[in-house]
Each structure stands twice: as structure tokens, then as C-alpha cells.
Structure 1
Amino acid sequence: MFKPTRCGWLVAAACALPVHAAMNIQPDPQNPGGYVIPQADVQAVEQQKTANPMYGIWAKALETRANAVVDAIEPGLASNPDNVKRAERVFPASEWEFLTQMAAPEYTYVRFLRAVGKFPAFCGDYSDGRNADAICKKSIVTMFAHFAQETGGHIAKENVSDNPLGLEEWQQALVHVREMGWSEGQTGYTTGCGQNDWQNKKWPCASGQGYFGRGAKQLSYHFNYGAFSEAMYDGDASVLLNNPGLVADSWLNLASAIWFFLTPQAPKPSMLHVIDRTWKPSQRELDAGIGYGFGTTINIINGGIECGAQNKDKGQPVNRIRYWEGLAAHYGIPLLADEKNTCWQQTPYGSLNLNGASDVLYTNWDGNWKYYADRPGGYSFECELVGYQTAYSALVKGDYEKCVTNFYGSHAGWPKVRLVDKLDPPTTEPSQPPVGGVPLWEASKVYVGGDKASYQGAVYQAKWWTQGDEPTKGGPWALVPQ
């Protein structure tokens, strides 16, 4: 499943340019040494940084329905969401039974439809003429090819003792609901639990719980359970961190796979956007052999182990390709001229050199450490997009503001930041007239080296950038002899 990486998001759209937006930053009257910023200014910076249309596309693909709606889904109901009706039409219960004759009983057609229903983008509509039914069918078949590898029986058709029905290996998906060798009550896969890092603060492990592989895509590790729980339960990571067994014993066993299918992972696109061609490979990717086709979905899932010329004859990718080709032949899915089912000719995404790439977008926020000469203390008072996993996602509403307010004040020497709806009017010293025509000092005004201001009957000159520092206290101010 997902692993934290330090890399970029490749798309063909132009990269968002660095933004140095104007912000009204004032000393915080409630917190000495801190600052207040209008919330609208912070939101404007976020909007500029995420102006590329791909951010909206990514976020839209990850939208979910309420669980109350999902729990009401049953095969054939007129009230089922439209994308569920499409899945029923292109992949009816008879096809589910055809591909799951060896499957564990926890995987059912009802749970499959509910998993589909949770995500409107899966088997969703297109307004630009793309064939939504064909994309839906291809998406489901792609997932089953990977299910057959990840959780399949892998029993030869000729092995009549273990495979009395003579099933093709691509008909043997979803045999395992839990990782082989693991059962509920065991506390494995707790690597990293309890460490004093942001992952444990955001997704703390629960005592006595194990985060081994569960479900159709074998969700593993606490940070994946926490992130998936947030997607399923309105931002509440604790539900699945405290009860990870739900990923095996409910419709989450299939929803976890669809979530993975829809989620882009830096620098990889989502599998959906490879199949429906919303994603356009960049020149850097094309040069690395990465384009359309089933092979790129292998690179997304496990490219470091299964892609590249050195892995051409390796069992895992050979199996996946064989399963895909068998399924595609059975369901009449053609191989298009610009598609490849293999990834041996591709550079694994983890080895792709993105240094200097001009077509990289990022989807996580981290503090902006750059120096800004026109802002208090030279601090940016911003977060920036980075290509590695952090606590704050550019695809989650409100995370940018959390990054700004949480990041500042949590680092030694950095000021605290508070967002406000509206700033108080700037204060001046009206009781003291200007001296020699020099304007009165204003607490909210930014001064740079050489600027002068009148204050309490004297003139002061700024030695360097300053805002909110009273001239009589020295520091950045020097008294000008009269």
C-alpha cells in the first residue's frame, strides 16, 4: 500500500508557479510575539498555489457519499446511486459470481456495490463524450486482474485436486480477506507506532491492534488505516485505527481497494485517471517508457519490484499481465495502439529522476522555510506544496489553514499565527504630532532599512525590516538626532 516518499506529481499540465502573494500581517494583541492574518488572505494564497485544474480533478475524484446512503444500497434498487446502477449494468451479479467462485465469504456482490457507491467518481459520468460504461467495465476488470495477484488462489487449471472446477487463475480473485498467517488479535505491522513524529500524532496506533494486510488490496500499516478511515468516516481516523478488523469484515474490504484505485500517489497518477485518460503523461514519463495501458497500473502499485527490464520475467508482473490478458480477452476489452500491458520497458516511478522537471505538481503542504524580506522576521507565513507525505493534503479542504496555524509556533523561534475574519483598524499615536514632517509610526505598517517614522516626539530610522516593533525599544530602530 502507500509508502511515504519524497517526490513530485507528474502531470502534463503546467506546474503551478511559486506564489509570493501580498498578505496583511499584524502583531497579535492577544499573543505577544505572535501575529494575526485575515483568513481571506490565507485562502487567497492557497487558491493561487492550487490554481492548476488538476487539483480540482483530484479532489473531485476522492469525494465520498454518506455511509447512511451506502448502507442502503442493494442490488436492483431504483434508489441506488447512478454510478452503482452503471456498475450493475456492466458487471451484473452473474459476472461477480463467475469471478469469485473461490472467494472468501466476506466478499459479496452487495458489498462490492456499496464500495462503488461510496465513491461517485468510480463508474461515474463524463460530460465530454467519453464512454462511461466502457471506462467502468475496464476499471472493474483492471481491479480484478490485480485482485487475482494480490489475494488470488494461484492454482493451475490442470490441478484438479485443488481446483476441481478447472477455474482459470484470473477467476480466482479475492481468496484471502486477511494476509496469510495473520488473524484478528495479533499485533503485527506496528512498525513506527509510538514514535514522536507527525504520523503518530495524526494517526496514533491503538493498543493491542495489528495493522497487517486486510481486504482486496491488503491495506497495511497504521498511516494507511488512518488515512482510509478519514476518507470513510468524515475525517475521523480513530474508527479504523481502533477497529482495523472492519477492513476485513464489512464493505470496507472492497472500498479500500477502490480508494487506492482513485488516490494519486506522488509521483504517480491514480489508476482511474490512467484508464479514463484524464491523466496526460509528461515528457519525463514518456521518456521513461511510461504511458497508457495496464502496465502503468503495475508501476503505480508495485513498480519498484515489478517494473524495469530486470523484472521482465519475474513471477509477480508476469502473473498480473497474464491475468489481465485473460480477463480482457473474456470481456472483449481491446488493447489500443498507444497502450502496453507490460511495464518491463518502464522506469519504476521510485527511480524516476524529477530534478528540474517543469511538469511537476505536488499534493501535500509543509512549512515554507524561505526568507521573505517584506514580512515580519523574514518568515513566509505560508505553507508550500511538497512531493512527500505530510499531515496536510492539498486535496482536503481546510488543511492549508491547519498547516499555517499549526506549523508556526510549533518550531523553536517561529511566531504563532492566528487567523481572524477581520483585522482591527491600525493604531497610530494621534496625541503626538509628526516631527519635522515625518509620518507617525504605525504598528501595522512594514518598514525597511532607511525608512523613518515619528514616535513620541522623536524621529527614528529603521535599520532593517520591521513591523510592530515600538521605536523606543531599540532593536530595528535607531534614534535620529535632531
Structure 2
Amino acid sequence: MFKLKLVSVLIGSLVSANCLAMTAQIDPDNPNGYIVSRGQINAAQDAKTPNPMYDIWAKALETRANNIVEAISPGATTNPANVQRVERVFPQSEWNFLTQMAAPEYTYTRFLQAIGKFSAFCGDYTDGRNADAICKKSIVTAFAHFSQETGGHIAKTNTSDNPNGLEEWQQALVHVREMGWSEGQPGYTTGCGQNDWQNKRWPCAQNQGYFGRGAKQLSYHFNYGMFSEVMFDGDATVLLNNPGLVADSWLNLASAIWFFLTPQAPKPAMLHVIDRTWVPSQREQDAGIGYGFGTTINVINGGIECGAQNKTKGQPVNRIRYWEGLAHFYNVPVETDEENTCWQQTPYGSLNLNGATDVLYTNWDGNWKYYADRPGGFSFECELVGFQTAYSALVPGDYGKCVTNFYGSHASWPTIRVVDEDLTPPPVETPPVGGIAPWIATKVYVKGDKASVTVNGTTTHFEAKWWTQGDAPANGGPWKQIP
């Protein structure tokens, strides 16, 4: 059994270690704002995400251009390597075998295109793991969930509705739209129009419905917006304005692959549960969460389907039946440390991770701690948090957007502008008087810095009580007189 070893990084130690020297300065173009250098922003982000898992997670979400994806077709020699692997381990004959009841919008070509968008799905491994076996297990896992989310659920013995006697795990992808909904129906607009960061980033379009579509039944405007950004180079409006594409194009399967690859910290990506890139934290292990199909249920819908109270509930029982039937048919091995069930697990939504030092988070929020040596006591930094925000640690540039409050989601946060120039003050050449250099109006002083002021031949020494720039020492305020 292969188990990937990763460097362990303690979040608690990161917090204390990340008190960086931020030399924020008054913005010359905005006297009520501040500027920080891009170098400081990048250094702060790197200091907070040293664990290699961040790079692994981000790489799993890398995408190919849509013109490459739309050129993919079964058997094409130009197909990307991960698509060719899928064609080898799961050829069209197997697709046809599992989709005999499927809606016509789901095709093998679109399945390959959806996979082709993400190079990490059925991708290569360079550390001894069997990429073909992981690919096969990933597809079987996906189909077990498809069978629950969009399946027919018709008993094999029901010959009137199931004349071919198909197993329920052969009835995936029957629905491309949520039952009872059709295009042109506004709906699932909870939260639309509110003055919050979600609506600033993913504004609802008028007369559009964000009901469930596709193999994973993508729902709600914020999920359509997030998915659209991934599919269309950061443009959320494509699917917010035309959500029907998630039903009528290869996006109906790509939405499920995207979900399969995306960690929702502290929940891992399903791929990384399957290929064991993820290593469960001690809190997760104590909560019964480890490797196996059961954890993928917890990732998808743990609050409703996991825990002892849901042991006999229909949804998880179905998923497990479908997984076991598919795994048996396709000879997918189940390791001795893997559990197919999640009734013995604490749902992720109920898992108390406060104080955990071996859980990695993937969202940025403002660091609200007070810093006496910085203007206004603001940190001018963001920190990792265990809840969803407008900014992801896996998306390039989002840390800088968090610091500059790009979506206006930080109440009372100062106006911050990032500049490319180095803001490190130049060395002071003026000879010190009594060992203390003269005060310079344009220089940034932090708590403990000293300056001297000479008036009519008399020199007085001062020490800064907190961050200051441009405040004359003789006026007091941030300065105190010292011998």
C-alpha cells in the first residue's frame, strides 16, 4: 500500500512566525490610504503557505485552454495524455455499459473533454503510484456518486421501467437538470442582490435560475460563479448569465470533475482521498475520518449522510451499494485501511478543528490582530481561515486582492494599494547626535525607533510609541521624550 509522505507544518507555529516587517507608508495619492510593496505581499503569502500541499492542491486545479479541450474526441492522437489514459482504462464500451439510461446531453466525447480540461484527473505520478489504477478508481468513484445524484434508481426487478434489468449502478446520469425545473425558470436565487462580497464577486443575472444542472447538480449562483471563473479564465459572468451551459455542453460533466478536484478546507479533494496525497489529521482520525469511499461521501454531503444517526438513511446506503457493485464489477481493490461507509465518521460540518495544528486551510481573510508598530495598528496582512471567503490560497493573485480588499469584504479595513517599488527606507546619512539620528518627516518609524530634534542648538531625544510617519516629535502623540 502506497502512502505519500509530506512535510508536517504546524499552523499554530505559522501564525506566530508570520509577524513580518510590513513597512506600509502613507499613499501620496490618497492621504487616507497606504501603500505596501508587491515584494512584501509575495513574501507574506509565501511565509504563510510553506507546506507543499498548497502547491499540490493548486496544481490539481490547473486547466487547459477551452480551444484545446473542445478539439478532444475519442481516439484522436492529439488528445492530452490524461485523456488517452482514460480511453485506455475506461473505453467507450464501458461508458456505454454504464449510461444506457443516461440523458442524451451526456456523451463519451463530453466526458473526455471534461477530463481534458483538468490535467490532474487521471494524470501522471512520478513517485511510484500506479496512475492507471488510480484513474480507474477515480472514475468508478465518480460513477457511484453519479448514480446517486442523477441516477434512475429503478429496481432490477421492475421490468416495466427497467426492461433490460440494469443494475442501479448502471443507471447513472439520467437527469441533466434538477427534476421539476426547466430553462427559463428563475429560482435558487437565495442571497441574490444582497450587499455582500458573494454578490460583488458573483452577481446574479436577472431571470436566471441557478437550480441543479449536470452530473453533480451544480446549484446556487456562487457555485456557478466559481465554476465559471475556472472554466473561462476568471470570468464569472459567463455561467451566471447563461447557466444552461452546465446542462447543454461538456460543462455538464466538467462541473463534476471540478468538484472532484477541489478541496473545501478542511475537507480534502476527493482525488486526494483516493490517491492518498491527503494525510488525515489527528482530529480527523479521532473523528473516524480516514481513507476510503466513505470519506468521499463526507466530502460531498457529510452533514446529511454521515454519522451514526444516518447509518440506515437512503442516500448513503445507495451510494455505498453503487460503489460496492461498481468496485466488484471492475475489480477495484479496497485496501484494509479503507472504509466504504461514513456512519462511523463525524460529519465535517460538526468537526471541531479549533486549535488543531495539522489542518491546512485554503481561504484568506484579514488579519485583525493589533500591531503597535504599524499604522493604525492594522496588520496589512491576511491570514488563513477555516471558512469560505472571497479569496483562495489556491488562486494566484488572491492574497494581494485580500490585502487590498478587492471585494470590499473587510469592514473598517484601511485603503491599501500595492506598488512595485521597494518601500524600504534608504539609510540615513546624517550624523547622529548623542547616538540618535535626527528626525526625518518622510521616514517611517515603528515602536522603539529613536529620533532627535535640535532647536536653537538644543537637542532633544524622542522614542516612537507606535508606527508613525510625518508626526513631529515635539507634538507628542506617537512620540515620548527620552533622556
Do these two structures clear the TM 0.5 threshold for a shared fold by scoring above it? yes
Q: Provide the secondary structure at the position in 2 that maps to 1:149.
A: helix
Q: Provide the secondary structure at the position in 1 that maps to 2:30.
A: coil
Structure 2 CA distance, aligned partners of 1:290 and 1:433? 64
Match for residue 470 of structure 2? 469
Change (3 A) 1:188 1:411: closer
Match for residue 6 of structure 1? none
Displacement, 1:306? 0.9
Question: What is the TM-score with the length of structure 2 in the denominator?
Answer: 0.92
Which residue identity is paired with 2:370? Y
Structure 1 CA distance, aligned partners of 2:421 and 2:467? 22
Change (3 A) 1:12 1:180: farther
Displacement, 1:281? 1.2
Structure 2 CA distance, aligned partners of 1:168 and 1:288? 33
Match for residue 7 of structure 1? none
Displacement, 1:122? 0.2
Answer yes or no: is the 8 Å Cα contact 1:309–1:344 preserved in 2: yes
Match for residue 244 of structure 1? 243
Structure 2 CA distance, aligned partners of 1:391 and 1:288? 29
Match for residue 295 of structure 2? 296
Displacement, 1:262? 0.4
Change (3 A) 1:156 1:98: same
Q: Could you tell which deviates more after superposition, 458-467 or 55-64?
A: 458-467
Which residue identity is paired with 2:367? N
Are 1:382 and 2:386 an aligned pair? no
Residues 327-362 of structure 1: CA distance to partner in whole angstroms, max 9, x if unpaired? 111101122111111111111111111122111211
Structure 2 CA distance, aligned partners of 1:13 and 1:478? 44
Residues 292-311 of structure 1: CA distance to partner in whole angstroms, max 9, x if unpaired? 11111111111111111111
Q: Could you tell which deviates more after superposition, 121-130 or 432-441?
A: 432-441
Which residue identity is paired with 1:56? D
Answer yes or no: is the 8 Å Cα contact 1:364–1:393 preserved in 2: yes
Structure 1 CA distance, aligned partners of 2:461 and 2:408? 30
Answer yes or no: is the 8 Å Cα contact 2:197–2:407 preserved in 1: no
Q: CA RMSD in A?
A: 2.4
Q: Provide the secondary structure at the position in 2 that maps to 1:419.
A: strand
Answer yes or no: is the 8 Å Cα contact 1:429–1:441 preserved in 2: no
Superposition pairs for residues 450-469 of structure 1, below 5 Å?
A: 451-454=450-453, 459=460, 461-462=462-463, 464-469=465-470
Superposition pairs for residues 362-441 of structure 1, below 5 Å?
A: 362-406=361-405, 414-423=413-422, 426=425, 438-441=436-439
Q: Provide the secondary structure at the position in 1 that maps to 2:329.
A: helix
Instruction: Give the number of aligned pairs.
Output: 471
Residues 18-49 of structure 1: CA distance to partner in whole angstroms, max 9, x if unpaired? 11112332222222132222211110010010
Are 1:181 and 2:176 an aligned pair? no
Which residue identity is paired with 1:471? A
User: What are the ranges of 5 or more consecutive residues in structure 2 without an aligned counterpart?
Assistant: 1-5
Change (3 A) 1:317 1:236: same
Match for residue 5 of structure 1? none
Residues 400-446 of structure 1: CA distance to partner in whole angstroms, max 9, x if unpaired? 0111112699766543222111146858999x997777421133232
Match for residue 3 of structure 1? none
Answer yes or no: is the 8 Å Cα contact 1:459–1:480 preserved in 2: yes
Answer yes or no: is the 8 Å Cα contact 1:203–1:238 preserved in 2: yes
Match for residue 446 of structure 1? 445
Change (3 A) 1:86 1:375: same
Answer yes or no: is the 8 Å Cα contact 2:464–2:480 preserved in 1: no
Answer yes or no: is the 8 Å Cα contact 2:451–2:461 preserved in 1: yes
Superposition pairs for residues 77-116 of structure 1, below 5 Å?
A: 77-116=76-115
Change (3 A) 1:425 1:279: closer
Structure 2 CA distance, aligned partners of 1:255 and 1:178? 15
Displacement, 1:189? 0.3
Displacement, 1:157? 0.6
Answer yes or no: is the 8 Å Cα contact 2:468–2:478 preserved in 1: no
Structure 2 CA distance, aligned partners of 1:91 and 1:469? 68
Change (3 A) 1:473 1:205: farther
Question: What is the TM-score with the length of structure 1 in the denominator?
Answer: 0.92
Structure 2 CA distance, aligned partners of 1:192 and 1:412? 19
Answer yes or no: is the 8 Å Cα contact 1:27–1:444 preserved in 2: no
Residues 212-242 of structure 1: CA distance to partner in whole angstroms, max 9, x if unpaired? 0000000000000000000000100000000
Structure 2 CA distance, aligned partners of 1:276 and 1:163? 35
Q: Provide the secondary structure at the position in 2 that maps to 1:350.
A: helix
Match for residue 167 of structure 2? 168
Match for residue 13 of structure 1? 8
User: What are the ranges of 5 or more consecutive residues in structure 1 without an aligned counterpart?
Assistant: 1-10
Structure 1 CA distance, aligned partners of 2:161 and 2:436? 93
Residues 117-176 of structure 1: CA distance to partner in whole angstroms, max 9, x if unpaired? 000000000001111001000000100000000000000011110001110000000000
Name the structure, 1 or 2, with higher relative contact order (CA <8 Å, separation 6+). Answer: 1
